[in-house]
Structure 1
């Protein structure tokens, strides 16, 4: 019997679902899952029929980070393995971060290390009450990857990021929402995230992509430059099909159809 795939990738009505699928191994990232995540990220970026993406985990944990057992088994080639996996995974993170589609993350359980990085990547992150978050790397003598050192201070501030990254203090779901690490807590995060993702998939794709890009750009631009990008983006949106439909719907006092 063939082993189950390390990652599940499905589509439905403009929505792509990515499910980390190594529940017996805490959904930890090994080379096979890394390559599957990279392929899924490329597909989400390239397929114009995909308008929103939902990322979650199968089982009681979201993602326990990298597969430490695999690193231990690599022996003298562990550095080679680390460079191979980070090259692949960093490509996946870049595609998910830069694609023109919103990313919703349902954190169904604990997230640690690289799992925390994947959780932080979402535009909207909904976590279970029992979920908790740990940077984890220095606890085993390692340093952050998958964008953790870039994402964390931008979400929670440098001072709090220093504490969490250096001490590996566990952050519960409610605290994570309070400090901006996640969006909110829900009793059934996967169901709520699915509802949100489906709504986004039916929304104005170009406007959502433009808004996502503007928010990302704001982290590295000054006010005047950012407003110039805003001016360009809204002018493009106004002459586009979605903008025209939105204006027509507003004037006609009806719901817009962005399909």
Structure 2
């Protein structure tokens, strides 16, 4: 009898182990970049490799003027369950630093990008997963999605921009209720609170998101970026400061190809063809 453990012929016929999957997938479809969190076995919980891969992917698309819309989504059963508790349990302080440092850098880049950022959410969005949803420019959720800020249930405060975005969206009182009670809520609750823009049947989530991403990718990208920055800065400005910021942004946009195309299309009673410049 052959010893299959050492026989070269037997070894060569043995099935090879599947190659490990990257923790984040960057997909391009024309001007649309999709960042897919890819640890489905852990409900896409963020560990250090995923956080670093996320930053590297965001840096790549931020440097590419051909990207005119960004989609964030998750593989498997849900969007994201939050931070990886195995990492945080092994070394709570250093683990938190190693995850949050690249995450924060990536979020600042996404906020500064002209391209609108869409969160496509299904299954569950908890902890840092919900924080990422809050930081997106537009959110589409599948029916049945469950949300939970969840940090307080672990004895910690929030991160990934939640304390900045949540009160701006729902007001301080409602934000504190969501944060202090740590209770799960539904996609319909999230829609009522203004945390998501649309709730769609799960079977339509991909197609609805793709249609929106394409619509935005065909739009005036520089104007989108100006609008994003104006809206996000408005609560930190006085009225005179905001008026000045609006004037500066409008004047910059007025010098773009897209503005000229938009004005000309208006006079010709045609739909404008924007090129993102």
TM-score category, normalised to shorter length: over 0.9
Bigger relative CO (Cα 8 Å, ≥ 6 apart): 1
**2:109, 2:148 → 1: CA distance?**
24
- Of 43, 56, 63, the residue aligned with 1:26 is 43
RMSD: 1.1
Aligned length: 256
Does 215-224 or 20-29 show the bigger shift? Answer: 215-224
In structure 2, runs of 5+ residues without a counterpart are 1-17
- Of 233, 240, 249, the residue aligned with 1:224 is 240
How does 1:109-188 map onto structure 2 within 5 Å?
Answer: 109-187=123-201, 188=204
In structure 1, runs of 5+ residues without a counterpart are none
Deviation of 1:189 after TM superposition, in Å, equals 2.4
**2:85, 2:169 → 1: CA distance?**
27
> Is residue 108–residue 190 contact of structure 1 (8 Å, CA) maintained in 2?
no
Deviation of 1:190 after TM superposition, in Å, equals 2.7
**1:95, 1:240 → 2: CA distance?**
22
Residue 160 of structure 2: SS of its match in structure 1? coil
Structure 2 partner of 1:10? 27
Residue 118 of structure 2: SS of its match in structure 1? strand
Residue 119 of structure 2: SS of its match in structure 1? strand
Structure 2 partner of 1:39? 56
Matched, 1:85 2:99: yes
**2:74, 2:47 → 1: CA distance?**
15
Matched, 1:249 2:265: yes
Structure 1 partner of 2:220? 204
Structure 2 partner of 1:56? 73
Deviation of 1:63 after TM superposition, in Å, equals 0.2
Larger CA Rg, structure 1 vs 2: 2
**1:197, 1:112 → 2: CA distance?**
24
Residue 130 of structure 1: SS of its match in structure 2? coil
**2:272, 2:137 → 1: CA distance?**
23
> Is residue 33–residue 61 contact of structure 2 (8 Å, CA) maintained in 1?
yes
Moved segments of 4+, more than 6 Å: none
Deviation of 1:246 after TM superposition, in Å, equals 0.4
> Is residue 37–residue 44 contact of structure 2 (8 Å, CA) maintained in 1?
yes
Residue 136 of structure 2: SS of its match in structure 1? coil
